[in-house]
């Protein structure tokens, strides 16, 4: 767990936030009960090996979120085989895990949901980045993220080669059409923002 915490920090992710998100996600899947199918069909002592393998080429991200899901579910023997942001071919094994079969299956869907969602963002982002390669343009993301997943989705865009824009409303001022209308003019909006928050950048 300590190694995973260190790895998450190195990636610019808050371990506490990730672990809470994982806890909530598994809790949502169990809904206060248990995996009745696995309990009914699989011995509680059965042990298995599971490989997380790509079905298509792309840019992967969320591998350490998968690790957090595995650890939360009690699967502590695993190995992450590629780097976050790596370009991989179809059929590439990303993570291999060994442990109790019921615990692996409890982790499976939540882990795959995170992995496929974030890797999809990274893969699409990388295509936009490739389109402006050789120019002075940068691909930047927005705050139009899935509620509760902003940190991870912005991490995924970084892994795809983009640059993060504002992570929050408090990071910088961004004067938009609604602010201009409410203030009366773009000059009034700019002047008021500069007067109130001299230390913040205007965008």
Residues recognised as catalytic: 144
| 45 burial type by CB count under 10 A (0-12 exposed, 13-18 middle, 19+ buried) | exposed
Minimal CA–CA distance to 8: which of 78, 62, 88?
A: 62
Q: Report the C-alpha gap between 130 and 7 in whole angstroms.
A: 28
H/E segment holding residue 39: helix 36-41
Give helix then strand counts, H and E, for the chain: 8, 5
In the numeric block, the tokens 């009745």 are attached to 36
Closest CA relative to residue 115, chosen from 84, 77, 73? 84
- Distance, in Å, from the CA atom of 144 to the CA atom of 181, rounded to the nearest integer, reads 21
Evaluate whether 126 touches 87 at the Cβ level (below 8 Å): yes
């Amino acid at each position: 767990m300590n190694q995973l915490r260190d790895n998450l920090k190195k990636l610019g992710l808050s371990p506490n936030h990730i672990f809470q998100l994982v806890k909530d996600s598994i809790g949502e899947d169990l809904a206060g009960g248990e995996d009745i199918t696995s309990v009914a069909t699989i011995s509680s002592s059965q042990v298995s090996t599971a490989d997380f393998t790509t079905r298509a080429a792309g840019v992967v991200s969320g591998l350490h979120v998968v690790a957090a899901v595995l650890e939360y579910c009690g699967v502590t023997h695993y190995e992450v085989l590629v780097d976050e942001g790596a370009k991989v071919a179809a059929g590439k094994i990303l993570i291999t895990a060994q442990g109790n079969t019921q615990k692996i299956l409890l982790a499976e869907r939540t882990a795959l949901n995170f992995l496929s969602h974030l890797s999809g963002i990274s893969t699409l982002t990388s295509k936009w980045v490739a389109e402006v390669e050789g120019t002075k343009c940068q691909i930047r993301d927005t705050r139009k993220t899935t509620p509760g997943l902003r940190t991870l989705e912005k991490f995924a865009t970084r892994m795809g080669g983009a640059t993060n824009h504002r992570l929050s409303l408090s990071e910088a001022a961004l004067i938009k059409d609604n602010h201009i209308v409410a203030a009366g003019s773009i000059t009034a909006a700019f002047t008021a923002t500069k007067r109130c928050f001299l230390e913040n950048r205007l965008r």
